[in-house]
Structure 1
């Protein structure tokens, strides 16, 4: 990754956090979970429409250009990226995650170890849940990681948590900000 996930997480200002709540839950079985929530004024349909268009708000990519991202929101669909060859040759590609559950307007679940976690023996499950609330839509962003890693998971957890907050923050900003 051209922009190191670790360097970016360390450089995030404290004011960047847009979630109303956040929690990292360590696991005794070799993993951790990161949960963030935010409320936006947009209704669930508009929130869903933006959620499934990550090229407008996703912040980390192998090509350093979120316009190269795509998401096919059906079971088996790919959350993928085209990686252009700077020399003009055939482009590369990356599968960031595979869609395993879609309930339009309510739940998107994907499996994949994101970013540099991809090169480890880790499995990740990202579940984004939308719920209608008086102010608009509550977005709950859960990312659960487990497995074996050459990197200490206890040290990775806060970094991954910060990046997950950044992803939710990008979605929230694309929807006009948190309420």
Structure 2
């Protein structure tokens, strides 16, 4: 139980700020949970996909990595590819998740447990789903379902993981908006 309290405290402290308005704990039980966050960005799906897969190190919050500013993140967007992290010197490494499904511009599915969930032996399916937004741009949904055996009640993790996922998706959305502003022609 102490492990759960420490993990919840660590995740909660790291979350720091509230998730975006379009966040939801879809379900939560002692053996797992599902969270979903969504954001709409004013870029096309191809631009959003490129940022998601090629620029993860530029938008994923560094305070949600093992080695902070010394971390380098990458996603090898092919079946069997790795969402990996390494320290700047390359000596410390982490395989966060394995890519299991790729439909460029539409869906990226990753399998594994992030952060303390990995150390607890839990697994999950995370999907980034991209689709056209009603008023233009791209709707990005970040879906994460986690489960597995642990003597702890996983439903307690759901709200905290939901906030962290909101921060991560917010990092991507903010990166895309900054890029759009930087690419805009000046008057």
Q: TM-score, normalising length from structure 2? A: 0.82
In 2: Cα distance, 1:105 partner to 1:156 partner: 30
Per-residue CA shift, 1:62-92, capped at 9, x if unaligned?
010375111100000000011256xxxx711
In 2: Cα distance, 1:122 partner to 1:128 partner: 20
Does residue 149 in structure 1 map to residue 155 in structure 2? no
1:35 matched residue in structure 2: 36
Q: Is the 8 A contact 1:35 1:143 kept in 2?
A: yes
Q: Structure 2 stretches of 5 or more lacking a match? A: 1-6, 179-187
In 2: Cα distance, 1:110 partner to 1:66 partner: 23
* SS, match of residue 65 in structure 1: helix
In 2: Cα distance, 1:29 partner to 1:149 partner: 9
Aligned residues: 167
Q: In structure 2, do the counterparts of structure 1 residues 66 and 172 end up closer, same or farther at CA, with 3 Å as the change threshold? A: farther
Q: CA deviation at 1:21?
A: 1.8
Q: Is the 8 A contact 2:31 2:148 kept in 1?
A: yes
In 2: Cα distance, 1:160 partner to 1:66 partner: 23
In 2: Cα distance, 1:46 partner to 1:66 partner: 27
Q: Structure 1 stretches of 5 or more lacking a match? A: none
In 2: Cα distance, 1:160 partner to 1:148 partner: 17
Q: TM-score, normalising length from structure 1? A: 0.85
Q: More strand per residue: 1 or 2?
A: 1
In 1: Cα distance, 2:159 partner to 2:142 partner: 15
Q: Which runs of 4+ in 1 moved over 4 A?
A: none
